Amino acid sequence: MLKKLLLGVLVGFYPYYCYSDNIAPYYGTTGNAAQSGHSWSMKDVLPAPPGLDINGVFYRYTANKNPEDDMKVHVQNKNANGTGYVFRDTEDWSGAPGGIEVRKVIGIGDIPREAWGDGSIEVEGTGTVDDASVIYSYKVDPCYDPQFSPSCPGYKTPVPVVPTVNLDDLYDATKDEFVNLNDEEKLSIEENEERLAEEEEKEKEEAEEKKRKYRLEKLMSASDTAALFAENQRIEQMNNIMQNQINNTYLAATIPGGQYKETIRLVDAKLPDSKAGLRNGLAQQILHEKMISQQYK
């Protein structure tokens, strides 16, 4: 039970310690806002960090006046939205002698910087204000922007933004009218563009031609296969027909047994030479002799 209680206490305090150790708010004071005059802009007075709240104003000045004069002095800041004042403190010096200094510390409940408009010291009545000093105290919360640190509550891991680029918007020196090119360079660029266009067109045509050839080869290959198959079928059919004919004509005949003797007798006689052959042989001989004799001419 005790362990559970201790654990609960530790868990309860952990976020607080974690926050205060790493990203604790810090405090500071400005310089004298009235150093250069009795009116000032807060953006010139406050430091840069966002998340700044003003929590106090310390001012001092010496009122110079005659005792009989009425005088009020306002130390003030306009409301940034333009309506009234976000801070205004008034001292009534009426009836008081001059030469007395006022030193005042005024606490303010953490008013964000965005609410603070221009500041001023305003004198109402007769008299002057000398040696004025207006100092603001402030508190800065670094985690006002959670992305300030990974330790800040609400921090989100940033995702890099990849810019989208329109290629047409990229700079092209050849289309820049302010780039000075002579005629030869311009002609060279034009020729280069034409050549590139022609090469591109040629590549397209070659690719198309290859496709066409490929398709034709595929088609012819299929056609040849079909024709070859049909031819083989036809030859096979013819062979079959012929074989049937042979079978019917010859194989069904009956050859009688016995002896077959020579019945034709050639009688010896003189066989004359064929005159056609003689003529032919003579012509051949003449041609041969002509060929032989030509080599000696």
Partner 1 sequence: MLKKASIIVAMSLFTLSAQAVDVPISGTVQSRCVITTDTPGTYGNPNAYTLTTAAADGGVQPIVRYDVTLADAYYAQITTPTSFSTSPSLNDTVSWTGSTEVSSVSDATGMAGYESAKTVSGQTTQFDLTATGSTWFKSTSVATNGGNKAFPGGNYSATIEAVCVAK
- Given the rule CB under 8 A, which residues bind partner 1? 60, 63, 67, 73, 90-93, 95-97, 100-105
Q: Which is nearer to partner 1, 42 or 129 (CB)?
A: 129
Cβ of residue 96: shortest distance to partner 1, in angstroms?
A: 3
Q: Given the complex with partner 1, which of 92 and 193 has the nearer CB atom?
A: 92
Q: How far apart are CA 61 and CA 35, in angstroms?
A: 11
Nearer to partner 1, 104 or 213 (CB): 104
Q: Which is nearer to partner 1, 103 or 261 (CB)?
A: 103
As measured in angstroms, the least distance from the Cβ of 103 to partner 1 is 5
| Nearest residue (CB) to partner 1, 87 versus 93 | 93
Q: Which is nearer to partner 1, 45 or 63 (CB)?
A: 63
- State the nearest-atom distance from the C-beta of 11 to partner 1, in Å: 42
Work out how close the CB of 119 gets to partner 1 at its nearest, in angstroms, rounded to a whole number: 19
At its nearest, how many Å lie between partner 1 and the CB of residue 72? Answer: 9
User: To the nearest whole angstrom, how small is the minimum distance from the Cβ of residue 6 to partner 1?
Assistant: 39
